[in-house]
Structure 1
């Protein structure tokens, strides 16, 4: 992996090693680690472990995750579990702590939850989005510390920073000096200006709170048609709550074809499904702002990852598939009235 970022601050995803196995075995008394399975995940190393009694997942964080941040991630999951959201149950280490350390990284061990699929497709989203509303309702009442509210790296870009950060990313892209790169940079700059202009008068009226940050795909696991685990709070942070929803609608709606009335109706239905789980329902202002928040989503790739990835080849690989996504977002802001009417 060459996805280190911020001048080495992020660190690389951990790899299984004899030293890591020894640290987990020593701290938790779990044997048989050599047969562990990497469950995947782009940010943390997630190892499926098994002993004679049960199965567990060892979650190994990147070096940028501090104890203060992990405490707040665990606080969030504990509160959600108590509120009826299926969340990870973390094991205590032999010394009583809820994590151990190895090679400058924090490690949790949690109970493994059996699942048969992840959130994938419209029907799954309809079923899972009221739960996201409940998650937001529960997290709204928790006081998190600074580290918990502010991830160093996340799939998110704040509205008031989107333009300046995008310009940093497009400056790097233009330096690669190909016609495709110039097309992407020009489109991203146009998108950033349009979205920033549109959001400027709305952002101060949007409720902010700590949100999950990446409620999508294999972070929401199903079994027999119901959600059995909400996991991966790596990007948890404070932002407008609709940004959590906008990420999902962006992933679901993004297409290189014009968005049909049927697809807009489905995006509205997904929004209404999320709203069902909220104690404080979406305001008209939030619904008007939602298409702009969806359109802002590809800018975290431009102004976040492309601008900050340390490895030039990794940044170029990340940029390679971005033009279609930026052009999708441009179609939203160019037809903003149509999108806002669909959501309100």
Structure 2
């Protein structure tokens, strides 16, 4: 599954959201190059490479055989939020978890402002693989447990704990936000498949909410990474070399972070076999090994529901909030199979909970 699930559409339609609040992804320019040169002494964007990423612009630049990543955030990212993102990465590095190292400006600042956007420069880290295979997940998930252990003790600000845009939907908001998304879908004069998607999403939201109601109050909450998957976790020579992209970092049940990873790994649109459930259990156990406070029985019971809730952030988040209707339509076009797959989890909840506990 693509980690952006249709959200990264910057080359065709605008992915601005929230009535212009999110802003569009930055683009390289001569003016940006000059601003970075003036503040960091980096000489040129010649032959720079856009490393991708749906939120920030991430440019690989080479200056005198040294390599850097220039990251330009969207306009909604505030200084308080970026300070917390940098704090999280610094703490991870201090505790032995490889994360981005920020290069200070010539006068010692941690970022600059360019055309209303925050810009930081970090050292480039070499890699040869992403966390997109079973083997890499088995190596990467104990690190996620370690990340959660480290982040739990950091006093983040309100802005650090609450991203304005993220691939996440809180359990208590699942029904209301999903209804906003399905209302928009029905307002398009939709196709039969779109109407089927709206009906399925509403059914999923109600079933998941009912299943989670008694479990959610028992789930430990903390600040988590927010998008621990694929090209946000880099490997070199069979070891984790870098954990990147904290754009969706925020406070939520810690199992929601794990559920996102498991959802990306498992959601294929096909029924899940006993062998696949066993693999998911192995991944959960691998994550558990990295925690200093192990998963509770309530968390293991809630995990299938948290996985099933994942496609609802597409419905109640991006489809409801994307400003461009064409962007929202394209996002919706790939969602029916994922919502129906999640419905299968809820309908076989006992089977999933037995496998995980």
TM-score norm. by structure 2 comes to: 0.96
Q: In structure 2, what is the Cα distance between the partners aligned to 1:222 and 1:68?
A: 30
| Counterpart in the other structure of 1:164 | 176
Task: Select the residue among 233, 237, 240 that pairs with 2:250.
Answer: 237
**Range 172-181 or range 149-158, more displaced:** 172-181
Q: In structure 2, what is the Cα distance between the partners aligned to 1:67 and 1:108?
A: 11
| Counterpart in the other structure of 1:23 | 35
Matched, 1:196 2:202: no
Q: In structure 2, what is the Cα distance between the partners aligned to 1:91 and 1:256?
A: 43
| Counterpart in the other structure of 1:309 | 322
Q: In structure 2, what is the Cα distance between the partners aligned to 1:18 and 1:53?
A: 21
Q: Structure 2: where are the runs of 5+ without partners?
A: 1-9
Cα deviation code 1:27-48 (max 9, x no counterpart): 1000122221111111110000
| Counterpart in the other structure of 2:261 | 248
| Counterpart in the other structure of 2:143 | 131
Matched, 1:287 2:289: no
Matched, 1:59 2:71: yes
Q: In structure 1, what is the Cα distance between the partners aligned to 2:208 and 2:107?
A: 50
Q: In structure 1, what is the Cα distance between the partners aligned to 2:112 and 2:336?
A: 42
How many pairs does the alignment contain?
344
Cα deviation code 1:86-125 (max 9, x no counterpart): 0101010122111011010000100000001111111100
- What SS class does the counterpart of residue 219 from structure 1 fall into? strand
Show the 5 A alignment for 1:112-127. Answer: 112-127=124-139
Q: Does structure 1 retain, via aligned residues, the 8 Å contact 2:26–2:56?
A: yes
Q: Does structure 1 retain, via aligned residues, the 8 Å contact 2:33–2:44?
A: no
| Counterpart in the other structure of 1:263 | 276
**Range 7-16 or range 48-57, more displaced:** 48-57
Cα drift, residue 175 of structure 1? 1.2
Q: Does structure 2 retain, via aligned residues, the 8 Å contact 1:21–1:34?
A: no
**Range 316-325 or range 34-43, more displaced:** 34-43
| Counterpart in the other structure of 1:99 | 111
Cα drift, residue 53 of structure 1? 4.4
Cα deviation code 1:180-213 (max 9, x no counterpart): 1110000000000000000011111100000000
Give every structure 1 segment of 4 or more consecutive aligned residues whose post-TM-superposition deviation is greater than 2 Å: none
- What SS class does the counterpart of residue 62 from structure 1 fall into? coil
Q: In structure 1, what is the Cα distance between the partners aligned to 2:128 and 2:144?
A: 20
Q: In structure 1, what is the Cα distance between the partners aligned to 2:47 and 2:113?
A: 21
Q: In structure 2, what is the Cα distance between the partners aligned to 1:35 and 1:23?
A: 17
Matched, 1:46 2:58: yes
Task: Select the residue among 260, 275, 280 that pairs with 2:288.
Answer: 275
Q: In structure 2, what is the Cα distance between the partners aligned to 1:336 and 1:244?
A: 20
Q: In structure 1, what is the Cα distance between the partners aligned to 2:229 and 2:253?
A: 18
Q: Does structure 1 retain, via aligned residues, the 8 Å contact 2:146–2:290?
A: yes
Q: Structure 1: where are the runs of 5+ without partners?
A: none
RMSD: 0.6
